[in-house]
Amino acid sequence: MSTILIEEIARTPVEQQRVELVERKGVGHPDTICDAIMDQISLALCREYLAQFGRILHHNVDKSLLVAGQTAPRPGGGRVLEPMRLVLGDRATAEYQGRRIEVNSIAIETASKWLSQHLRFVDPRQHVVFQSELRAGSPELTDIFARGVIGANDTSAAVGYAPLTDTERLVLTAERHLNSDTFKQAFPAAGEDVKVMGYRRDRELALTVALALVDRFVPSADIYFDLKHAIQVALTDYLNEQLGSLDRVTVALNTLDDPQRGDAGMYLTVLGTSAEGGDCGQVGRGNRVNGLIALNRPSGNEAAAGKNPVSHVGKIYSLLTHHIAAEVYAQAPGVREVYVWLCSQIGQPLDQPLVASAQLVLQPGATLTDVRAVTEAIIERELANIPVFTARLVAGELTVW
């Protein structure tokens, strides 16, 4: 039986701290592209392994580099001069029971499909060169999958928390709204490459947003700055309807712009992502598994995207800690904030971590005695249900970006 430790911590809740910083990299950001694609490749491999062998085989496809291409954006429509290059790498079982699995073909097909579905103006056939470098895994790690009880593939620790603060919630909401179908219909010039940095001071939230505009919809500098102003107003109004405990939200958009610098003074892109010519991307440099980079919170260092959802404890525990924290917050009376920690030992069953710990910030008047039993019961239940949880990961129900 795992050691379960429950403790109250004397900590000022994040929403009561004077300064809070939260970031989100949107769906078209180069780092997010890498995370999202590699996780989809893992899911595609899981489906193929299950279809052919009735079981998931060893893989960890969590290494990817998106090398920026070269474009010449200009008002009214520019040109792609050199395609992006997407390098897909790490380990995947390509042969089992005498049968061959075309893992590199699966990887490229999956990446192409994701790009077509999520980036409106990126044509994978024209704008991306794919380089898939998946190789066989080490015998010892591959053997984990052949055992009766699959154990942890590593000694790894993770932490998750609940609930989201209003700052975290609005940063997430801002990017999702900018990349929603409704917003794209209203503002087709708004590209998918979005980055939101939220700075809360006391009860006022200031968002600094970088949003790539697609040049074919912007025939002149005047229209660019008119569009920029309209987008800024629309986003500000939308967020100010969802303030929660905050007094107001302000939005600063594309603050590097300079009307005096002509085309160079506007954030224009040909394809809607800075990966076309400005920035490279890499797995693990983007959002944490709950979609945010929250600087006021404890955080693990696991790059979860692309790792297998059956034995890779870093991925499983990174998502599971947030899930357990949310369950504790929802069910334990008097909890203001909860932080859940899990640490594995390599080779040991996933439902028997070295330690499982919950740190609780309590409401005034609540005591640890009031919440200890229910918190322990939730942790025990969720650890026992890890096969159900990993099945949700295999089905793609939970994202890591």
Cis peptide before 163 (omega within 30 of 0): yes
What are the Cα distances from residue 112, in Å, to 37, 86, 137? Answer: 9, 10, 24
Assigned token pair, 202: 């006391």
Q: What is the C-alpha separation between 289 and 303, in angstroms, rounded? A: 9
Q: What is the pLDDT of residue 264?
A: 85
User: What is the average per-residue pLDDT within 333-361?
Assistant: 95
Kindly report the average pLDDT of the chain as a whole number.
Answer: 94
Question: Which pLDDT band holds residue 142 (cuts at 50, 70, 90)?
Answer: low
CB 373 within 8 A of CB 346: no
CA-wise closest residue to 2 among 308, 314, 358: 358
Tens digit of each residue's pLDDT (9 = 90 or more) over 266-305: 999 999 999 999 899 999 999 999 999 999 999 988 899 9
| Whole-number CA gyration radius for the chain | 23
CATH top-level class of 166-282 = alpha beta
Which architecture does CATH list for 30-141?
2-Layer Sandwich (3.30)
What are the Cα distances from residue 391, in Å, to 10, 159, 308, 310? Answer: 37, 21, 11, 8
- The answer on pLDDT for 31 being more than 80 is yes
- The answer on pLDDT for 37 being more than 50 is yes
Assigned token pair, 136: 């066989």
CB 154 within 8 A of CB 343: no
- The answer on pLDDT for 145 being more than 70 is no
- The answer on pLDDT for 5 being more than 90 is yes
Question: Which pLDDT band holds residue 1 (cuts at 50, 70, 90)?
Answer: very low
Q: What is the C-alpha separation between 364 and 347, in angstroms, rounded? A: 42
Assigned token pair, 113: 């499909």
Question: Which pLDDT band holds residue 2 (cuts at 50, 70, 90)?
Answer: low
Same CATH topology for 30-141 and 166-282: the answer is yes
| pTM for the full predicted model | 0.94
Q: What is the pLDDT of residue 149?
A: 63
User: Domain residue spans in the chain?
Assistant: 3-12+154-164+298-394, 30-141, 166-282
CA-wise closest residue to 27 among 222, 220, 272, 218: 272
Fold type of domain 3-12+154-164+298-394? GMP Synthetase; Chain A, domain 3 (3.30.300)
Question: Which pLDDT band holds residue 375 (cuts at 50, 70, 90)?
Answer: very high
Q: What is the pLDDT of residue 286?
A: 94
Q: What is the C-alpha separation between 170 and 161, in angstroms, rounded? A: 17
